[in-house]
A = this chain, B = another copy of it.
Amino acid sequence: MAILTPTDLGGRVAWLGLVADREESLRSATVQAVALTFAGIEGESHSGLVRLSCNRVTGQYPKGTPIRNVRQVSIVSAEETAAVAEAMGLPALRPEWLGANLVVEGLPDLTLVPPSSRLVFAGGAALVVDMENAPCQFPAREIEREHPGKGAAFRGAAKHRRGVTAWVEREGRIAVGEAFRLHVPPQRPYPPLAP
């Protein structure tokens, strides 16, 4: 019996990028294809099976605890990012400034995609969506450098439009232009937390 279900929703890879050294800069550099391994994107600074926990999960773990790395890949949506740019009064927001690895287009409401969903690519590779990514201060710095006076507006404008983080379930290569499909777990409220 299958629990994970293919949907009619999907999209295509609009852009790919690598962060070479995240200690030095959040900026990602454009590439045409990436190799996904179980540790993440080959040659990417956020790769690894395990990472040291950060400020985002201090409600769960003391900072610096070794935990499984569910933040291997930062995915943003072309449509959501354009909406954030518009809200900020900017002509565009480059994915490099956001430290994104993958820009998708065609999939509605990427940031709201159900946690544990799978993005299954035409070539076979697959990513598991952990959950929504939280806007932090680093993109604001990059935006400020490009558009002085605009950086501070990012966090508010990007709320619930900052994309998701994901990790590799099936290895493979993905390239710009490649199609993918969204597969989801059962969609229902958890009764004890239902409004």
**Residues of A that sit less than 8 Å from B by CB:** 1-7, 9, 38, 49-50, 56-61, 65-68, 70, 108-109, 112-116, 118, 120, 124, 126, 128-136, 167-171, 183-194
Contacts and interface: CB of A to CB of B under 8 A. Distances in A.
A65 B116 CA distance: 19
B5 A191 contact: no
Given A4-B56, A4-B60, 16 more contacts: A1-B135, A1-B136, A3-B56, A38-B49, A60-B126, A60-B183, A61-B124, A65-B170, A68-B170, A115-B185, A116-B116, A116-B129, A131-B186, A187-B189, A187-B193, A189-B189
**Chain copies in the assembled complex:** 2
9 contacts: A3-B133, A4-B60, A38-B68, A61-B124, A109-B191, A112-B188, A113-B190, A116-B131, A184-B190
A7 B168 CA distance: 28
A128 to B, nearest CB: 7
A8 B115 CA distance: 20
A104 to B, nearest CB: 14
A68 B128 contact: yes
Contact of A126 (B3, B61, B112, B128): B61
Nearest to A50: B38
Nearest to A186: B132
B112 A191 contact: yes
A182 to B, nearest CB: 9
Given A2-B58, A56-B1, A167 B68 contact: yes
B7 A193 contact: yes
Contacts of A70: 128, 169
A188 B112 CA distance: 8
A131 B113 CA distance: 15
